[in-house]
Amino acid sequence: MSHGDDQQSQALAKPTFSDVQASALVESVFGLKVSKIQPLPSYDDQNFHVCISSTKDTTDGPTEYVLKISNTESSKTPELIEVQNHVTMFLRAAGFPTSSVCHTVAGDLTGLMAVDGGAGVPSYLVRLLSYLPGRPVAEIPSSPQLLYEIGRLAGKLDETLQKFHHPQLSSLRRENFIWNLKNVPLLEKYLDALGQNRNREIVVQVIQLFKDEILTKLSHFRECINHGDLNDHNILVESSKSAFGDAVYQVSGILDFGDMSYGYYVFEVAITIMYMMIESKSPVHVGGHVLAGFESVIPLTPVERSALFLLVCGRFCQSLVIAAYSCQLHPENKDYLMITAKTGWKHLQQMFDMGQKAVEEIWFETARSYDSGVSM
């Protein structure tokens, strides 16, 4: 789910390439012969699953790829996409299961190419990434073991990115980026998409609490680069059998670095907790397992921990409000846009009804149980 700074212009600028046009792009820009191509769901970019015909030049490389065609707004910031590509390659070299980036026929190291459809037609940036194996976390029952591993992954990702350098790194300081967690107050201009109901009342309350209790504490949080979108469709897993015969899942893929920006360690863990709650049968208990995994790498400070509840609520609001707004602009993409909304409003209301103290008690007690070697 790659999202952009100005949601309306982004939503209106989603590419609409046909399968035939996308195949032609792969062949002309990357020099690979397509044997099969099919669209993949996406938020505001366009993605295709591409299978290529093997030749003597490609027998050693992957035969499956993802073609990503960036929307017109993102395509205006090639330096940002270049940084995303270099991060993907940097993390892959560091042992993370991220995609490799395919070079263009011109040998472009970033795998980018502007595609101009002619006079008055926007240009798009295209890139080809290796297709990663596994099933999205959304499709499997979550377990404490998997939630802990995903939390640990989020911590290791942020820790490793502290060592990443690039001349265009400042492009990740995306001040008005709607999906940066510090920008929850920007949701005010999209509230009309909700109508007048309890959902809207909760969002208004969260925004006010966010202004009062989060924005005033930002200087006390430790800054880092965030992936920013470790949701249950962007983490792939593969299963193996444990000694007891049940399935144990390992992360096999990390997708979509389109929401990367400078943020804070506590943002990453809050975003991860929120998305892991979506499909869970016991959503309020998710946070403690994810937090324990994250803190096995990067322990949070007391002030960061105290912000976690509101940050999770804030991310729910971002996802739910922008989805409702985007549905008005793109009703044909409603099924994909409303994935979070199916359970998200219910989870947000439950957290709000329970209150910060009760939810924190569950999270922190569960996280503490890992210290004693007895996970709940």
Strand, helix or coil for residue 128: strand
Cα–Cα dist 10/269, whole Å: 27
Residues in contact with 210: Cβ distance below 8 Å, sequence separation at least 6, in sequence order: 184, 185, 310, 314
Q: Active-site residue 229, yes or no? A: yes
Residue with tokens 């004693």: 372
The CA-based angle 284-289-292, given to 5 degrees, is 130
- From 158, 229, 232, 256, active-site residue: 229
Query: Please, is 303 exposed, middle or buried when counting C-beta atoms within 10 Å of its C-beta (0-12, 13-18, 19+)?
Result: exposed
Strand partners, 237: 135, 251
Residue type, 358: A
Query: Please, is 40 exposed, middle or buried when counting C-beta atoms within 10 Å of its C-beta (0-12, 13-18, 19+)?
Result: middle
Residues in contact with 76: Cβ distance below 8 Å, sequence separation at least 6, in sequence order: none
The CA-based angle 185-191-192, given to 5 degrees, is 155
Residues in contact with 197: Cβ distance below 8 Å, sequence separation at least 6, in sequence order: none
Residue with tokens 């322990």: 299
Cα–Cα dist 65/299, whole Å: 37
Start-to-end Cα distance in the chain: 32
Residue with tokens 């397509």: 34
The DSSP result for 184-222, as a single string, is GGGGGGGGGGG-SSHHHHHHHHHHHHHHHHTTTTGGGSP
- For residue 325, the Cα-to-chain-centroid distance in whole angstroms is 19
Cα–Cα dist 183/371, whole Å: 34
Catalytic residues: 229
